[in-house]
Amino acid sequence: MAKKIAGYIKLQVPAGAANPSPPIGPALGQRGLNIMEFCKAFNAKTQQMEKGMPIPVIITAYQDRSFTFEMKQPPVSFFLKKAAGLKLGKKPASGAKTPGRGFVGKVTKAQVREIAEKKIVDLNCHTIESAMSMIEGSARAMGLEVVG
């Protein structure tokens, strides 16, 4: 018989840096899940990824206090900032303060296509071209100019 699902928890955790401090600890603790077990499993799965890359995680909590988790690709904004050469790290650079008027960086069509190929599994579209147009829209909203 299948396990009964108690709920879902959505978090965004830096790759290889899961620890029991907030937001992970309280989110898992209130469901009665083993926090350290999740941290060890997540860090083991993400150790070959770039350190600090934000990874969206959907944790399925079951009534017997066990869990499974599914990892998604990093957000489009992370890939766009990386492609444009904006500062990443402890205090990441934000997009333009007035999108549509000023630009803070440039991304090429080739970079947009590369991002679309990585993200298409998480986007609700079927072709690379439609994924590219979604990513170009995100870039314009962030104040990045799409060239090429």
pLDDT tens track for 84-123: 888 765 566 676 777 777 788 889 999 999 999 999 988 8
Question: What's the Rg (C-alpha) of the chain?
Answer: 18
pLDDT value of residue 36? 92
What DSSP letter does each residue of 72-129 carry, written as one string? -PPPHHHHHHHHHT---SSS-----SSTTT--SEEEEHHHHHHHHHHHTTTSS-SSHH
Q: Strands of 54-62's sheet, edge to edge?
A: 5-14, 54-62, 67-71
pTM of the model: 0.81
For 140, list phi and psi in degrees, rounded to 5: -65, -40
pLDDT higher than 60, residue 83: yes
pLDDT value of residue 49? 86
Distance CA 13, CA 42 (A): 9
pLDDT value of residue 112? 93
pLDDT value of residue 50? 85
Give me the mean pLDDT over the 60-68 stretch: 92
pLDDT digits (tens, 9 = 90+) for 8-53: 999 999 988 888 888 889 999 998 899 999 999 999 999 888 888 8
In order of 54, 62, 67, 135, the CA distances from 34 in angstroms are 22, 12, 9, 37
Record the tokens describing residue 117, joined without a space: 């190929």
